[in-house]
Amino acid sequence: MRVRISLSTMKFLFPLFSCLILSVSGHTSSIAISTTSGKLHGTELNGVMSFKGVRFARAPTDQLRWEPPVPFVSAEPQNATVLGPSCLQQFAFATGAFTELLFNDPTPASENEDCLFLNVWAPSTNTKQKKPVLFWIYGGDFIAGTASYPIYDGSSLAANQDIVVVTSNYRTNVFGFPSAPDLPITQNNLGFLDQELALEWVQLNIAQFGGDPDEVTIAGQSAGADSVGLAIVRDLVKTPFRAGVMLSGAPTSASPIPSFTSFNAFAVAVGCPQVAGPSRLGCLKQVPAATIRNFTNGPLSGSFGPVVDNITVFADPLERLRGGAAANVPIIIGNMENDGTAFTVGETNLTAFLGGGGPGMPISPALVQSLYPGRNDSVIIADAFRDRGFRCPAELWSAALTGAGVSSVFRYSYGAVFADLQKFPGAGAWHSSEIGPLFGTFNRSTATPAEAAWSGTFQTAIANFIKDPTASPALNWQKYVPGPPAVTLAKLAYSGNVEPGNFVDPVPSSAIDGPCDALWDAFLDVTV
């Protein structure tokens, strides 16, 4: 079940554009804009309007826990000057503390089950021409993450690139992706329904901020990129976006059979031992959120994530792309040169790393070593993790999209490395280290001039795509054609090249896709 509001139903709630300056103090002004969520009182600073902590859905608490999001509709004044709380996050298992250090630092001001808020940054120049819109979806493996991280502040993008930026929360872990037999299978991917409702809010309201609802690009990193891909694969009746940016993430084949093991164990652990069904669900809705978070962040928690429901998630996304059963929209897609390092710190035993094998296919360490010549096992482990998790999915998606006739696909590999971003030994261009440069939220007190220059270069390239997704986003960044002899895969900022005229080094995809073609694609592209 997906809740929708029609544009015609909501028109009476606000005028087409209402923008009122209320008070001025120095360079900061109070500003109010009418939306379906009420009259939002935000701020204007240095040419950028910001509206933070905007409620787009009713609190998903009590009887609305594990229910599809319900639109929040109001005509009342709303304070929109403070970021809303994060949804409750999960940092469990042996790697939990390290993961939290890397991806949850600084921690958000608060976490709360009542968390369905979004944020808007928009240039305050009042022109008749509507501006392109970036809708950002955060990563976090569908168990953590929040739009309230300072690194996702949209001020720099709005000011420097003249676009409107929207970031939005969605439920994660057991709250957003419970894998619960007590719920209809179509109600298990609640986080994706949250994302859809936030996009509907954008369609209804973004013109009030000077944005163009027909020029929305959805973008995300890691699980956020997976979310973008899944939205494309759904082929929504009226796709509420015209382009997508997928940074280090793309959905591949998934089992159509859900596992309820983690949820069943969770239910018993928090005091609801009934058999699966309405009685147990009623019991679980009464368990305090803090109790649930304590369990999911403890040593006995299981894993929670998306399930195949054939509405928001499909078992065979690549086949849907190839068959044309997906939105035909321009795409930027790619990965970090060192996407695997953050997930393999301290791993040196290649045999143990490969122990999980794959579907009917044991993996020989000798075979894997032959695909990465001249590297020790620690480096091979990190590179193999990168390839199977990020580079090979990008290769498969790029080929499927171009094969299906999508005319504007831009593929990249990101190689920018800066000393102040090296949070652990051997990090390199590690997973998520592109976000600070993209948003312009990198640490300016420790950054080198080259890092600051790179932020402007990379930000402009992505913004160019958002403004016109059919044109090359930068010099020498051509539309992607798989395989040789085409030289259309853009290596970005390798060898310290950070200026607009030299940061793209085009190479044939075969220069980096060898291990994917020889081994890993077979595990990722499985027709179910």
DSSP conformation class of 152: G
What is the rounded CA–CA span in Å between residue 412 and residue 457? 15
DSSP conformation class of 57: B
In one-letter notation, the amino acid at residue 231 is A
DSSP conformation class of 38: E
Residue 413 near residue 512, CB atoms below 8 Å: yes
Residue 308 near residue 255, CB atoms below 8 Å: yes
Number of helices (H), then strands (E), in the chain: 18, 14
Angle separating helix axes 289-296 and 261-269, nearest 10 degrees: 120
DSSP run (H or E) holding 40:
strand 38-45
Q: How many CA atoms lie within 13 A of 202 on its CB side?
A: 32
CA 188 and chain centroid, separation: 19
Q: How far is CA 193 from CA 73, 116, 205, 244, 362, in A?
A: 17, 11, 18, 18, 37
For β-strands 117-123 and 48-55, DSSP reports them as: antiparallel
Q: 144 — phi, psi (to 5°)?
A: -150, -175
Contacts of 84 (CB under 8 A, 6+ apart): 52, 53, 54, 55, 115, 117, 119, 147, 148, 169
3-state per-residue secondary structure call for 44-97 = EECCEEEEEEEECECCCCHHHCCCCCCECCCCCEEECECCCCECCCCCCCCCHH
CA nearest neighbour of 169 among 189, 149, 141: 149
What is the rounded CA–CA span in Å between residue 285 and residue 290? 12
Q: Name the catalytic one among 34, 86, 155, 222.
A: 222
Q: How far is CA 49 from CA 119, 347, 442, in A?
A: 11, 46, 21
Q: Is residue 279 flagged as an active site residue?
A: no
Structure tokens that stand for 58 in this block: 């009713």
What is the rounded CA–CA span in Å between residue 411 and residue 486? 12
DSSP conformation class of 504: E
For β-strands 243-247 and 211-221, DSSP reports them as: parallel
Catalytically annotated residues: 222
